[in-house]
Amino acid sequence: KTAVIGEMAVGKTTILQTFLTGKYNPTIVSSTAAAYLKKTIQVDTQMYKFQIWDTAGQERFRSLSAMYYRSAPYVLVVFDVTNQKSFNDLKNFWVEEVRSKGMKDVEIFIVGNKIDLGREVSREEAAKYCQEIHAQYFECSAKTSQGIREIFEAVALDRLKGAKE
């Protein structure tokens, strides 16, 4: 089980739709409720089945998000690299929220989206923060598909590694 969280309009749903369909859909609107999605991918010789909760990012839904990541061993926290506030909110709210209300050994993956556009948050700034909190960092563009599969492959490999230990 994987939960995807973050502020409104950072591209959570678009990332997931691009992952599921392999195509960018410019008509996606902001989620107002959580959605449950499934996809199976092959990583190396192993098949990995994803069960993904896509959560709404609007502030009024923040308290509901915990229902979805409380039991998720993997949480993707998404921010928009073109929006410094979304990164600040990730640092000041979302990561702490997952650490305090999520599973004890939750694996947090930080995802910087919209790398096809101009930046307010540098790769270096985000990577440094992720190093400080011991989270993996990925960048992607839901529009061009760049980096999308790599995020989910990393989650799958982490899961497969954990199953062997």
Q: Please report the domains of the chain, with CATH numbers, ordered by start residue.
A: 2-164 (3.40.50.300)
In this predicted structure, the answer to whether residue 122 has a pLDDT above a threshold of 90 is yes
In this predicted structure, the answer to whether residue 59 has a pLDDT above a threshold of 80 is no
Average pLDDT over all residues of the chain: 90
Residue 61: predicted pLDDT: 46
Mean pLDDT of 19-32: 83
Task: Name which of 12, 115, 9, 112 is nearest 55 in CA terms.
Answer: 12
Alpha carbons 68 and 90: distance in angstroms, whole number: 17
**34: confidence class by pLDDT, cuts 50, 70, 90:** confident
In the structure encoding, which two tokens stand for residue 104, read together? 């004890």
Mean pLDDT of 49-62: 73
- Residue that is written with structure tokens 């061009």 in the block: 144
Taking CA atoms, 24 is separated from 85, 107, 114, 141, 146, in Å, by 25, 27, 12, 10, 11
Residue 30: predicted pLDDT: 66
Q: pTM of the prediction? A: 0.91
Write out pLDDT tens, residues 69-97.
Answer: 888 999 999 999 999 999 999 999 999 99
Residue 57: predicted pLDDT: 54
Residue 82: predicted pLDDT: 99
Residue 28: predicted pLDDT: 79
Query: Are the C-beta atoms of 99 and 6 separated by less than 8 Å?
Result: no
